[in-house]
Amino acid sequence: MFAKLKGIVDEVEASMVTLDVNGVGYELFCSGGCVSQLERGREASIIVFTDVNENSIRLYGFADALEKQVFLLLTTVKGVGSRTAMEIVSCVDKVELLRAIAAQDLKRLQSIKGVGKKTSERIVVELKDRVASYALERQESRLVIERSASNPFDEAGEALQALGFSSKDAERAIAAVRGKGLGSQIDASTVVKEALRHI
């Protein structure tokens, strides 16, 4: 599977990009954020997801790692395939999307082209807890901090960074959650969900 491609941008037409990698042209369906960073004839390094099914192999290109992770989370929702997920991440900033999911903002999700009432409800129901869990899984896989020295706020801060947020943004969001005085029994997953509302 391809995770990243580096080459010369040969063609850019709407969301379709042809990337020349050592003489081989790869066709990618790219997000709006990715396309906006590309210039025909210039070298580019594109983060890629390879979607393989029984009828085709498609390459999807993203502006950054976080955008790809949000896309992959969306594809776990029943009824949301790769094309719909790409449409969503192209229409709304990935941080705003995570914030909307964490806040269960159905109205914001329904304002996205191609996302109706049922789809927005499924996204919230299936992802509101998974966003936090996924961030924590990413943090644990990187072994960023020792369990013995951690607390829920530290874990949540590192999890947000593992998801792709800057340390500055993560610290500011965690500080906002600390200020709410949610009590000593709060867990890292809850901190992440609350923090996403402040990023």
CA dihedral 18, 19, 21, 22 (to 10 degrees): 70
Domain residues for the domain of 123 are: 65-127
pLDDT at 138: 61
* 27 shares a domain with 47: yes
* 52 shares a domain with 14: yes
pLDDT at 191: 86
Query: The tokens of 127 are what?
Result: 């992802």
Contact present, 138 and 159 (Cβ < 8 Å): yes
Beta pairing partners, 27: 18
Q: How many residues does the chain have?
A: 199
Q: Could you read off the pLDDT tens digit of each residue along the chain, which spans 199 residues? A: 788 999 999 999 989 999 999 999 999 999 999 999 999 999 999 999 999 888 889 999 999 988 998 999 999 999 899 999 999 999 888 888 888 888 788 998 998 887 889 999 999 999 987 777 766 666 555 544 444 446 888 888 888 887 778 888 888 888 888 888 766 678 888 888 888 888 7
* 28 shares a domain with 14: yes
Beta pairing partners, 43: 8
Contact present, 71 and 168 (Cβ < 8 Å): no
* 85 shares a domain with 112: yes
Rounded Cα–Cα distance for residues 121 and 34 (Å): 27
- Domain boundary (101, 127, 153) is at 127
Rounded Cα–Cα distance for residues 133 and 188 (Å): 9
Contact present, 173 and 199 (Cβ < 8 Å): yes
pLDDT at 143: 47
Q: Which of 76, 89, 109 is nearest to 31 (CA)?
A: 89
* 167 shares a domain with 136: yes
What would you report as the CA-atom Rg of the chain, rounded to the nearest whole angstrom?
18
Rounded Cα–Cα distance for residues 160 and 178 (Å): 15
Q: What is the total count of domains within the chain?
A: 3
